[in-house]
Structure 1
Amino acid sequence: MSTFLGLPSAPPVLAPEKLSILYRGSLASCNYDCPYCPFAKRVDPPELLRQDRAALERFVDWAMATTDVRLSILFTPWGEGLTRSWYREAIVQLSHQPHLDRVAIQTNLAARVEWMADAAPTAALWATYHPGQVTLERFLARCRRLDDLGRRYSVGVVGLPEHHADALELRAALKPSVYLWVNAAEGYTYPAEEEARWTALDPRFGDSVRPHASLGKPCHAGETAISVIGDGTVRRCHFIDTPLGNLYDGSWRAALRPRACTNQICDCHIGYVHLKPLALYDVYGAGVLERIPADR
């Protein structure tokens, strides 16, 4: 440890070996009007879109320059990102960086997927099928093109009773190696028989159907996983508002440490997947961000 005027200098802040980042900008517009989504058919004004694009480009520049950490990035926009060129360009650009293990985005697959041909295999998609918003044939055409391109993706549905027949048809049409996940519908109670029907489609449905008691439980969030919003504010996850610092001034580095959850429950996959007692990192392995189990 070096000294200056006889005083010990502060030890360097070491970066974690690996870091998962969930990024969410200001984009909230979507081309679908799903009745279970509060952002359906929202239209973002041009100024907000410009702000979102500038923020994303700044984030991409940071990620490309931060080569002392192996990064994995999941874009979790409130709206649909892949209808915007800057998200497609960001994924392609980041996928080719040697220090990025994975870059993925949550999407409804409304946009064409030809651009994925320009991305490296580290790019992946977390896709959701919304019956009533798109025909199954059109959605499956996107999936088949991803198969042709050799790109990783998962597919899911919201587990509402009126979606079950569509989900069965979807499962039958997808390649067996493609993981079909089911999200429990918010505010909906599942009788045992109905839960069993969905579990037959997605053996991990039980992870989603009941909130996880998380208060005081150790979590990877805030230690090896963080949430980042457009201005660079870093939080441990999307569901705890307390800032840990800012991505762009480097203050986030000193804030990373083992942490216990401060919320009573965690009921969203992008949150509870990081709870250590659930051991879901073992289930998903390298596919944690795109929601693909390790055995797929």
Structure 2
Amino acid sequence: MDLTLLYRGPLASCDYDCPYCPFAKRRDSREQLRADRAALERFAGWAAGRTGDRLRILFTPWGEGLVRSWYRRTMVELSRLPHVERVAIQTNLSCRTEWLAEADLGSLALWCTYHPGQTPYDRFLGKCRDLAARGVRFSVGIVGLPEHREHARRLRAELPEEVYLWVNAAEGRTYADEEAEDWTALDPLFPYSRHPHASAGLPCRTGESVVSVDGDGTVRRCHFVPAELGNLYDGSYRAALRPRPCPIAVCDCHIGYVHLETLPLYDVFAGGVLERIPAPPARLPAPRPTGA
């Protein structure tokens, strides 16, 4: 089986206080952290045992995972497994980076987000330069708010040229053409994020070759569709995997709409879908996406 898994366990705590995030500065209790650790270790054990499959795994925690030792250890362990083609995680990069020396950098990747006001710019840029020096695959992104524009310009100017800088449209924000053009000058793929994508009834890879998994092993087609397909650990999800149209009206999150078959993003991000790293030709301006 060839399968992409988006894993989101119970972890909901974060060390940042971003005003646009409902999980800012949230703290998990010791019991909650123990439960998250146990759930992650169970998932990692399942993945390790699937030697006959080809797996790609993206961790999408509500909180910040890499400040927790069990996420760093799991990333290292999974990266070393020959049947795990890619293991990636969304992170604010507040963690230390020495642990990456133990990982197989041929399969590990990081999806990094810079949050101005939460960490000094020079500290974040220094972390990025450290990743580049270590040979880590990573992308860097920022939320497209007016107060973030100068930070984004500095990042684009000072990051290594080969590091993709992505811009997420701010939730609920309408972008005038002039403003959108400014962001597109920094991220040629911003047009895909600018508008939610009409998705109802359209073919999507989720539920067939891509699934979402929670800490209990409940499998859904994606994070945004609550209907259950079965459970990972008893194998009941396998019989439910098949092509199916999207049941929701619009999809406005990259980790969702990247899997729509009506968008060309599997070609745009060929080899880097999970870590949001485009193939080199995609560094040219992107055509306006359909269905926006």
TM range (shorter): over 0.9
Residues 1:115 and 2:99 aligned together = yes
Runs of 4+ in 1 over 3 A off after TM superposition: none
Aligned to 1:58: 42
Give the TM-score, by structure 2 length. 0.95
CA distance in 2 between partners of 1:204 and 1:170 (Å)? 16
User: Structure 2 matches for 1:139-288, cutoff 5 A?
Assistant: 139-288=124-273
CA distance in 2 between partners of 1:144 and 1:241 (Å)? 39
CA distance in 2 between partners of 1:217 and 1:235 (Å)? 17
Residue 26 of structure 1 and its aligned partner are, at CA, apart by 0.5
Structure 2 residue corresponding to 1:30, chosen from 10, 14, 24: 14
Structure 2 residue corresponding to 1:137, chosen from 116, 119, 122: 122
Structure 2 residue corresponding to 1:102, chosen from 86, 97, 101: 86
C-alpha offsets along residues 222-242 of structure 1, whole Å, 9 cap, x if unaligned? 010000000000000000000
CA distance in 2 between partners of 1:213 and 1:69 (Å)? 33
Give the TM-score, by structure 1 length. 0.94
Larger gyration radius, structure 1 or structure 2: 1
1:27 aligned counterpart, secondary structure: coil
- One-letter identity of the residue aligned with 2:205: H
| Root mean square deviation, CA, Å | 0.7
CA distance in 1 between partners of 2:51 and 2:241 (Å)? 18
Residue 188 of structure 1 and its aligned partner are, at CA, apart by 1.2
CA distance in 2 between partners of 1:125 and 1:25 (Å)? 18
Structure 2: segments with no counterpart, 5+ residues: 284-292
Residues 1:81 and 2:65 aligned together = yes
C-alpha offsets along residues 92-146 of structure 1, whole Å, 9 cap, x if unaligned? 0000000010000000000111111111011100000001111111001111111
Residues 1:289 and 2:282 aligned together = no
C-alpha offsets along residues 67-110 of structure 1, whole Å, 9 cap, x if unaligned? 12100000000000000000000000000000010000000000
CA distance in 1 between partners of 2:184 and 2:65 (Å)? 30
Aligned length: 280
Aligned to 2:289: none
CA distance in 2 between partners of 1:278 and 1:148 (Å)? 34
Residue 250 of structure 1 and its aligned partner are, at CA, apart by 0.6
